[in-house]
Amino acid sequence: MEFAEQCELAWTNLANVLASAGMGMQDIVKVNIFLAHQEDLPVFREIRDRHLAGARPASTLVFVKALANPRWLIEIEAIAARA
């Protein structure tokens, strides 16, 4: 699976987890993203911005040599909260 597909899937999975808790992307307060390849950054930004739809959580982006599975190109960790 290419990066764009993995990125879309990661954001969609996050949205589904949030929805199962009665929350949405606007409830994310912090997101950590790990990318395996720096050249994927422009594609990542386009997909991230579309999925966040204006939400602006605090975020950290880290480029890593590899993730737990060598086929994985992205990992997203998020913290959500409701006021």
Query: What are the boundaries of each domain within the chain?
Result: 3-80
Q: Give the predicted TM-score (pTM) of the model.
A: 0.93
Q: How high is the pLDDT of residue 1? A: 84
DSSP 8-state code for residue 70: T
Region 47-51: mean pLDDT is 97
The length of the chain is: 83
Contact (Cβ atoms closer than 8 angstroms) between residue 59 and residue 33? yes
Query: What confidence category does residue 37 fall into, taking pLDDT thresholds of 50, 70 and 90?
Result: very high
Q: Considering the chain, what percentage of its residues have pLDDT values greater than 90?
A: 96
- Dist CA 39 CA 55 (whole Å): 24
Token representation of residue 13: 């999975």
Question: Under CATH, to which class is 3-80 assigned?
Answer: alpha beta
Query: What confidence category does residue 83 fall into, taking pLDDT thresholds of 50, 70 and 90?
Result: confident
pLDDT for residue 40 is more than 90: yes
Among the listed residues 13, 4, 5, 14, the one whose alpha carbon sits nearest the alpha carbon of residue 59: 14
| 81 φ, ψ (degrees, to nearest 5) | -150, 150
